[in-house]
Structure 1
């Protein structure tokens, strides 16, 4: 056989292997079907969205875990405007009289997370009671010079979009400016961002000299996922002319670059991003948030589809095929906590202490993946 012919046959073989191993995104309807199935499971389990949540103790349902679910539901509603979804969100807000857990004077980002959906619902129907409490709570914060409230990175996702939404809604940059100062306090003053690795320590407990068993820094998957979601949601809300937009964009791109090689072959990310053997395994919440953030970047022309599409595809297909049960329950959801060991073991059948935030993350991912599908 001539060398040219042999080279041609080898090229065909390599091409066929590449095509066979490359994954494709499903059709739009398949994405909608998965989102509908999982959302129906939660709505069926919680027909009254205002009822208290009982785990190790009883909590009002305007806590952060449920607020994250409603973030996902509103994103789902944006691509499938089912009146039942809108009504479910309105009933949740009404059940709490559009209030915040721990009251108006709370400075806790977790308590303010519900305000994201309250403001979304106000933008649909401008009833002043819907934003009265969340605006009052943030206004009380602005009366002080304190900027170090966000001392754990989850807080960025819980509260930053609230400040950004208020800034746009009121056409007053005092909210976006304070948001920036608090974000930079978390990132630089408290030093929770490691520029070298493009990732964040969850809080001060995990900064060096703390290390994982393999000697690497501890970068918790869902914690970094919260930061990705915060940056994406803020950039989606604020105009590009915002003086700090470039800072958010720069950090976002650095995180995307860092996350790309950390994806597992099966499409998931490990709970511990730099130590796959420390509670290694499939984990749906961090994966969902990363898929959400990466897909948003491609949809908005910020990330290269050529470079990132297979990452999105592998991630979504893994979630849709391996995490979603036939009845809509989500497997591989790590329970609440702050590090890889919390909520373990995580498996296909394990039940987290709260199941709502995992669905919220999944719906956020689906809402962006949907836009990429044919």
Structure 2
């Protein structure tokens, strides 16, 4: 029996029978000290804001891109999470400046169906809730309304899209008190889960294939299925954020909750001994090594789940402690730069090499993931 299979059996046992309290008692003090958690979040964020003082400046890698693309949108998701626990006006102003400089618009206009274009809308909606100026939600709502009016719901063909757009549908449904947003959100999610490529969720392993190109017969070099760490992290984040938004009586909530719990079990079974997760969850030797973005998203989900009373603290808290402490000690530079961040892509070989000092093509989303994690770790008791 392969190691990850053994771990899955072990995690299943722990989730049913519980874990002795001794592991929890050995928590490293680094995850108990809220001030230390806040300090590292402030330091990593300051590094980024100092490097990008103009929130509207386009991003150049191999070509120029506007800064309301998904990578920057994920950063602002993290910044807004930081702002909720650390009410620094500078954070709020930086987010508003970003929206203002893009006229609260989407990269490809309101007719876009691309979830990557929609991600910025998560922050636009958050900022609207703080200060309900109509221009802040005008374009994102118009774009989602056009998608619903089209009757087409097979757009989320890759699992990253679930995180980029699903929470927007959830929030619009609550803000407008119109169930059509939640119903359509489920249609799109269900297509990704059960129809796209034959279904991108594998309940046997409790993990998601990134897109139809990775559904079997595709295999990793060791003969196992390819489960990309960050891709599964996106689904973790999406489910956590959606469950945080929708009401308790939303008709599909139970399924989202079950999917979240199962996914956390699948993730927990393959944590590295050092606390990180590999980019390839079932093939630790395929571009194996520490990776911060997937690790951050898994920590975010686990900590959120404990904070909401959904996940068992005795089982998941030791995993969080190990992962958070490993990232703080081994990935965060004194300057605030984050190491071990895999660049953009869709599978283990992309965005390599991933090292302590490697510079990803985009720095923003890695920090966003880290801030999301820190914001929930900070709330742990």
TM-score range, shorter chain: over 0.9
State the match for 2:106 in structure 1.
100
- Aligned match of 1:23 in 10, 20, 28? 28
Partners of 1:46 and 1:223 in 2: how far apart? 26
Report how far residue 20 of structure 1 moved.
Answer: 9.8
Pairwise CA RMSD = 1.3
Partners of 1:66 and 1:173 in 2: how far apart? 29
Partners of 1:23 and 1:194 in 2: how far apart? 34
Report how far residue 319 of structure 1 moved.
Answer: 1.0
- Aligned match of 1:320 in 317, 323, 328? 328
Instruction: Work out which of the two has the higher radius of gyration on C-alpha atoms and give 1 or 2.
Output: 1
1:155 to 2:161 alignment: yes
- Aligned match of 1:344 in 328, 349, 352? 352
Partners of 1:165 and 1:156 in 2: how far apart? 14
1:52 to 2:25 alignment: no
State the match for 2:119 in structure 1.
113
Report SS of the residue matched to 1:172. Answer: coil
Q: TM-score, normalised by structure 2?
A: 0.92
State the match for 2:177 in structure 1.
171
Structure 2 unaligned spans of 5+: 1-19
- Aligned match of 1:311 in 312, 319, 326? 319
- Aligned match of 1:334 in 331, 342, 345? 342
State the match for 1:221 in structure 2.
229
State the match for 1:263 in structure 2.
271
1:245 to 2:253 alignment: yes
- In the TM superposition, 1:124-143 aligns within 5 A as 124-143=130-149
Partners of 1:21 and 1:131 in 2: how far apart? 46
Partners of 2:65 and 2:373 in 1: how far apart? 27
- Aligned match of 2:129 in 116, 119, 123? 123
Report how far residue 26 of structure 1 moved.
Answer: 3.7
Report SS of the residue matched to 2:379. Answer: helix
State the match for 1:71 in structure 2.
77
- Aligned match of 1:364 in 366, 372, 377? 372
Q: Is the 8 A contact 2:342 2:351 kept in 1?
A: yes
1:67-123 deviations in Å (ceiling 9; x for gaps)? 000000000000001000000000000000000001110000000000000000000
1:89 to 2:95 alignment: yes
Partners of 1:194 and 1:258 in 2: how far apart? 10
Partners of 2:25 and 2:312 in 1: how far apart? 22
Structure 1 unaligned spans of 5+: 1-14
Report SS of the residue matched to 2:378. Answer: helix
Report how far residue 21 of structure 1 moved.
Answer: 6.7
